[in-house]
């Protein structure tokens, strides 16, 4: 009788411990949202395609189309995008790549706000607001990730591999699911939308929600489909050369525009096609300043993302400079995002130089590549190699000299609100729209896209004085919009001219605030971090230096709505002086 009693006692105790563990896990998960502001970290994503007129603004207050104080600039290829950025297209299109291969595609006359880009407890939070126009999204959230898009009167959440298109017009919004499934949230009510279905809702009328068969695709859908196919194919081919299981942005471009080969002690390294032995890694690009991460190098080539923000550089006699995915300063995998893969140097005479980072460099110490590559830095970029004379003393600098660096992106006019409405159609969610009597935007049924009736050729032209080359094959990237050196005026293109806006304003329509991260996602993150999710988180948790938390509303018009609905505000983690994003590699 004693042995059975002992067995029952042990079993009951084990069950008690298990129950206590589950309760504690749920308590921690429920409280995760409350402390997300303290544990979140900055993220940086990439503008990978710039086609035609694309512009951006930073840290806009409220509705970016109504903020007269917002400063707009012409966007360039490989622009780093952080939380608080707003991307707008006029007669152009754009593509943004996220860390794990998710993508956002902007059609013409579209405004997309990056409301929340943060990392907490090993999971990525992505909350976007489509202020106007049409955009398509290709997402593949991992365990603990959260991805939502808000447009007009409702938001959508995707928890698995999904491709969907959202349209936000003056009289209503719609979402069409091309692949996978998602959940639409309207006034506390959730509606499931499956593949080949479309959900539409009239502005300000929650009772008008309708789910019907999705309409046939148009030229924008076909353009996006080709981009996704090219991206996934090239990325799968390029990622095999690097040990980066959770970061994919940029590897497809390396596969398309260069070659990989092994180097003893460092594994596979990469070098672009068509460069000679004397090629400098920083031959083509420009400088860009952001208060969140400082001076950043904008690579002017389609492949100019990964080599200038991750990994390191090696110089091999008979070969020249090659890029290695191995992270510098002790970073695992491809390491953390950096504004530039270089070490700043300054001589006793005041000259400023940049040395390509070596994978074995130690932060604050003399760079290992100093003897083979010290390049002069000017206001126009990086120029010729500097001779390293024994009499000249060079010291490592933490930040570049402000007297040398100058922002090189052109200023741009703010995009005006475009008045567009959804026309009545037998098919729910149809994308045919018309402009109002004051708008220059009309729908060309022959071209199957929106055009400027006052200047039909403008859609085929780029920003004046800026190169806009045709899109590249395989990777789907476009060449840079960074002006040529010959076109620069004292390194400050922003003073040359302002990109005009040919749009007539339309009345603003208030948008609902983005949904807060569900407790189930926060609980999953804690579970992953504790090791219960099969390997834990996918990266480190070092926050950006100087990061702080702050709560802001989606817009001034949405503040009261957020309070009444109980939606939580975002947690911002980027601040002045930050050197890069934390969390998983990005």
Domain-terminating residue out of 349, 382, 397: 397
For the segment 458-474, the average pLDDT, to the nearest whole number, is 37
Say yes or no: 205 and 253 in one domain: no
Place of tokens 């000679």: 276
Strand boundaries in 45-84, DSSP class E: 45-58, 72-74, 80-81
The three-state DSSP-derived secondary structure of 504-529 is CCCCCCCCCCCCCCCHHHHHHHHHHH
| pLDDT exceeds 50 at position 348 | yes
Question: Where is pLDDT greater, at 284 or 586?
Answer: 284
Determine the pLDDT at residue 250: 93
* pLDDT confidence band for 3 (50 / 70 / 90): very low
| pLDDT exceeds 70 at position 338 | yes
Say yes or no: 247 and 385 in one domain: yes
Say yes or no: 91 and 127 in one domain: yes
| 367-404 per-position pLDDT tens digit | 999 999 999 988 777 888 888 765 568 899 988 877 77
Determine the pLDDT at residue 390: 55
Interatomic CA distance for residues 161 and 181, integer angstroms:
8
Say yes or no: 56 and 162 in one domain: yes
Give the chain's mean pLDDT: 75
Pair of tokens at residue 566: 């109980």
Instruction: Indicate the number of domains in the chain.
Output: 2
Which range among 196-205, 328-337, 464-473, 563-572 has the greatest average pLDDT?
A: 196-205
Of the candidates 116, 99, 112, the one whose C-alpha atom is nearest the C-alpha of residue 40 is 116
Of 140-149, 330-339, 522-531, give the lowest mean pLDDT range: 522-531
Interatomic CA distance for residues 384 and 455, integer angstroms:
43
Say yes or no: 525 and 556 in one domain: yes
Determine the pLDDT at residue 255: 95
- 56 domain-assigned: yes
Please, which residues have CB within 8 angstroms of residue 466's CB and are 6 or more apart in sequence?
Answer: 74, 410, 481, 483, 487
Determine the pLDDT at residue 49: 97
| 213-231 per-position pLDDT tens digit | 999 999 999 999 999 999 9
Say yes or no: 142 and 215 in one domain: yes
Interatomic CA distance for residues 162 and 180, integer angstroms:
4
Domain-terminating residue out of 361, 377, 397: 397
Residue 176's domain comprises 36-223+511-571
Say yes or no: 263 and 379 in one domain: yes
For the segment 122-151, the average pLDDT, to the nearest whole number, is 94
Interatomic CA distance for residues 481 and 493, integer angstroms:
12
* pLDDT confidence band for 310 (50 / 70 / 90): very high
Residue 566, class by beta-carbon neighbours within 10 Å (0-12 exposed, 13-18 middle, 19+ buried)?
exposed
- 127, 148 in Cβ contact below 8 A? yes
* pLDDT confidence band for 343 (50 / 70 / 90): very high
Beta strands at 146-151 and 123-139: parallel, antiparallel or unpaired: parallel
The three-state DSSP-derived secondary structure of 234-274 is HHHHHHCCCCCCCCCCCHHHHHHHEEEEEECCCEEEEEECC
| 145-179 per-position pLDDT tens digit | 999 999 988 999 999 999 999 999 999 999 999 99
Domain-terminating residue out of 376, 397, 418: 397
- 435 domain-assigned: no
* pLDDT confidence band for 239 (50 / 70 / 90): confident
Say yes or no: 204 and 344 in one domain: no
| pLDDT exceeds 80 at position 261 | yes
Say yes or no: 310 and 253 in one domain: yes
> Distance of alpha carbon 255 from its chain centroid, rounded?
21
Place of tokens 């304003």: 505
Share of the chain above pLDDT 70, in %: 64
| 471-519 per-position pLDDT tens digit | 433 334 444 343 333 333 233 333 334 434 333 344 555 567 788 877 6
| pLDDT exceeds 90 at position 98 | yes
Determine the pLDDT at residue 19: 53
CATH number for position 548: 2.60.120.1440
Of 116-125, 220-229, 417-426, give the lowest mean pLDDT range: 417-426
């Amino acid at each position: 009788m004693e042995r059975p009693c002992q067995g029952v006692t042990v079993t009951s105790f084990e069950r008690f411990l298990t129950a206590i563990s589950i309760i504690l896990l749920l308590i921690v998960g429920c409280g995760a949202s409350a402390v997300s502001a303290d544990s979140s970290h900055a993220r940086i994503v990439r503008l990978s395609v710039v086609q035609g007129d694309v512009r951006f603004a930073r840290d806009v207050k409220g509705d970016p189309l109504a903020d007269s104080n917002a400063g707009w600039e012409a966007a360039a290829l490989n622009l780093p995008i952080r939380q608080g950025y707003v991307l707008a297209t006029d007669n152009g299109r754009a593509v943004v790549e996220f860390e794990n291969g998710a993508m956002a595609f902007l059609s013409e006359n579209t405004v997309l706000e990056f409301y929340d880009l943060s990392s907490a407890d090993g999971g990525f939070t992505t909350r976007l607001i489509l202020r106007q126009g049409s955009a398509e999204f290709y997402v593949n959230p991992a365990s603990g990730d959260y991805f939502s898009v808000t447009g007009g009167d409702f938001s959508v959440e995707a928890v698995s591999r999904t491709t969907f298109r959202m349209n936000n017009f003056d009289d209503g919004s719609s979402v069409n699911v091309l692949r996978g499934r998602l959940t639409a949230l309207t006034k506390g009510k959730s509606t499931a939308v499956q593949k080949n279905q479309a959900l539409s809702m009239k502005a300000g009328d929650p009772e008008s929600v309708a789910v019907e068969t999705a309409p046939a695709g148009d030229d924008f859908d076909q353009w996006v489909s080709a981009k996704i196919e090219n991206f996934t194919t090239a990325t799968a081919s390029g990622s095999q050369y690097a040990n980066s299981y959770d970061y994919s942005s940029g590897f497809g471009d390396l596969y398309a525009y260069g070659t990989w080969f092994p180097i003893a002690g460092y594994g596979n390294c990469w070098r672009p096609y068509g460069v000679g032995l004397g090629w400098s890694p920083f031959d083509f690009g420009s400088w860009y300043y952001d208060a969140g991460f400082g001076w950043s190098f904008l690579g002017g080539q389609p492949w100019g993302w990964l080599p200038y923000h991750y990994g390191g550089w090696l110089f091999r006699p008979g070969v020249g400079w090659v890029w290695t995915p191995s992270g510098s300063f002790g970073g695992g995998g491809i390491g953390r995002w950096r504004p530039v893969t270089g070490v700043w140097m300054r001589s006793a005479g005041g000259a400023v130089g940049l040395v390509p980072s070596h994978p074995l460099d130690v932060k604050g110490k003399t760079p290992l590549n100093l003897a083979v590559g010290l390049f002069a830095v000017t206001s126009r970029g990086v120029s010729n190699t500097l001779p390293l004379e024994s009499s000249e003393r060079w010291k490592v600098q933490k930040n570049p000299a402000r007297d040398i660096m100058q922002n090189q992106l052109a200023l741009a006019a703010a995009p005006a609100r475009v008045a567009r409405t959804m026309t009545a159609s037998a098919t729910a969610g149809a994308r045919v729209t018309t402009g109002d009597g004051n708008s220059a935007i009309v729908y060309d049924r022959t071209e199957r896209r929106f055009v400027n009736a006052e200047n039909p050729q403008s859609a085929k032209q780029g920003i004046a004085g800026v190169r806009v080359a045709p899109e590249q094959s395989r990777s789907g990237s476009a060449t840079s919009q960074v002006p040529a050196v010959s076109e620069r005026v004292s390194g400050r293109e922003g003073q040359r001219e302002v990109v005009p806006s040919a749009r007539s304003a339309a009345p603003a329509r208030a948008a609902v605030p983005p949904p807060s991260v569900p407790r189930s996602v926060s609980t999953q993150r804690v579970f992953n971090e504790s090791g219960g999710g099969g390997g834990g988180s996918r990266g480190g948790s070092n926050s950006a230096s100087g990061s702080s938390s702050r709560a802001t509303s989606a817009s001034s018009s949405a503040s009261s709505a957020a309070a009444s609905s109980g939606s939580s505000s975002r947690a911002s983690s980027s601040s002045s002086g930050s050197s890069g994003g934390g969390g998983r590699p990005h």
